[in-house]
Amino acid sequence: MRRVHRGIHFLRGPVLAGALVFAATLVLAIRGASAAASGFAFLEIPTGARSAALAGALATMTTGAEAMFGNTALLDPMGGVEVSGGHSELIQSLRHDYFSVAGHAWGGGLGASVRALYSEPIEERDEVGNLTGTFGAHDLEFALAYGGRVMSDVRFGVSAQVIRERIANEGATTYGVGFGTSWEPAGPLRLGLAVQNLGPAAHYTINGVEGESVGLPAAAQGGASYSVGAGARLTARAALEGRFTRGRAGVGILGAELTDVSGAALRLGVRANDDASTFSAGAGYALNGLQFDYAWVPFRLDLGDTHRISFTAKF
């Protein structure tokens, strides 16, 4: 009977944590549904080829330097320094690039990152359609974060960001904060929750007149992942997560990764209730501290396919 009671007590923790994660995301979903649509949409793009291939399963699957864009609780590379960067070809000549670095410091992980969404030069025309030149547009984010253990099986992370958007000669700047938490009550199980982009709205000022507010896409993403051995060489980890963003419908995320001891990996992802894309796939290979990843993400509504590549190096 004592063993049964201990088993029930052990299971109570993960069930309670899962209920808290679900409740937090549900509350934010209800509040977000009634809020006005937000701007700075580039912050909603899954950053990194591995994350993109996993359909954006960021709360429980991304670790190390790439955790700057997911769950900062998983930032610690456990010794040394980890560097990650990547490039994505999106629709309508849009490019999405990022770079992040993380190192072990003060018992946890300290990281910094930059990511950008930008376009090729856009034609500028006058009222009658005559070409008068070109102009550019870009979105930028600079971020700092720290994540570490607060208990043997619990991690916590915080982040701060500066975001700037510019169209031609006009720009708007704001800042935000976020936090993440992760609980691993048993070796193969990981529960995670990340809250991102909490901050004031930005404003464009044109000809001395302040325009309407452009809010940040405040979001909560949480769920669980579980890993199992598949024979002597293979390991599989799958995640089930939900993401709720201010002013947008909630999205369900299913991501799975199969890795071999050689360093090769295959990945699949599915997003439910997402107007932009529903399926993704990718592959990766790691050797001697260097990892390369690729993701293929087809868009819906005949918008075409996107191809994303990234690398991670550990020193």
pLDDT reported for residue 114 = 97
CA 53 – CA 142 distance, rounded (Å): 24
pLDDT for 177-216, tens place per residue? 999 999 998 779 999 999 999 999 888 777 766 777 888 9
pLDDT for 254-312, tens place per residue? 999 999 999 999 999 999 998 878 899 999 999 988 999 999 998 876 556 788 999 99
pLDDT reported for residue 122 = 63
Domains with residue ranges and CATH for the chain: 2-314 (2.40.160.60)
Confidence of residue 136 (pLDDT cuts 50, 70, 90): low
pLDDT reported for residue 2 = 42
pLDDT reported for residue 35 = 55
pLDDT for 61-86, tens place per residue? 988 999 999 999 999 877 789 999 99
- The whole-number average pLDDT for the span 3-29 is 44
pLDDT reported for residue 106 = 87
pLDDT reported for residue 255 = 97
Helix/strand/coil (H, E, C) string of 85-149? EEEEECCCCEEEEEEEEEEEECCEEEEEEEEEEEECCEEEECCCCCEEEEECEEEEEEEEEEEEE
